[in-house]
Structure 1
Amino acid sequence: MSSGQVFAFALAVRCGSLDVAWPQGCTVQVVHCAAVPGLEFALEAAAQTYESRRRGVCVARRPDVDLLLRLMRTDRIEEALAKARARDPGDGCCIVVGYGDRACLDTASSLPQMSAPPVEPDIWRLAVEESALVGARPSPCERVLDAQQV
């Protein structure tokens, strides 16, 4: 993320269309659409993960695990993995969510998108609050430095 700009992204794709190589420096998670209350929530979780790393206080040491925990609104990795997995997603709906530099955004944008199921605004707002509470007892982690700090 040397360009100084960090982009968050969340998009719905067919689960079977995810054969992609992500550029170095991307933090990405893929979860079944039913596991996440909407794309807006997924974007907020990505922003929370990035900001917690920038400040040096995280839910997990690895940014991809931190993001997964926030997306699933739990502090238990086993529970997050169980919630995120689709039993047999096939070509069903998956959400690709993450953050990174322009190359990460371009890679995400190249995926064939589909419509995500609609979510009531009150539900995703509550989920954002739950996700923030996952980080209420953060642990030290590597800091993400903005270009201005380098």
Structure 2
Amino acid sequence: MAKPILLVEDNPHDLELTLHALNKHRLGNEVVVARDGEEALDFLFARGAFEGRPAGLPSLIMLDLKLPKIDGIEVLRTIRTTPALAQLPVVMFTASRMEADIASAYAGGVNSYVVKPLDFQELMRVVADLGCYWTVHNEPPQGAVRPA
């Protein structure tokens, strides 16, 4: 069974469009949604509403930058400083084109920074490309991603 994709997105419109794009391209990965940074960390550490979830970690984290409770940079920082999570692929998927945000994300160890396209068809293509690359074509190091 394919590992899930963790989609961390607080904007209902962006969430709906991204889910539609992922489902349309039938990657075979379950998509787990977190609507803020705290919920994303709860999933990764199997706590709170995610306590007792099946063991395992996502194949990809699509992380928005501007999130309630805990922002995307802090979520990224927590992932990169937790040995069992440190090598998870994280794509910052956000509307921000600000150079400071891009620099902060890369300084924090993001694997890729992708600005959400405004055009619906382009968004569909970008989401499909991201999902396919990170869940099908990318080869993580052996043993890099351990079950939770």
| TM-score normalized by the length of structure 2 | 0.26
Larger RCO (CA within 8 A; separation ≥ 6): 1
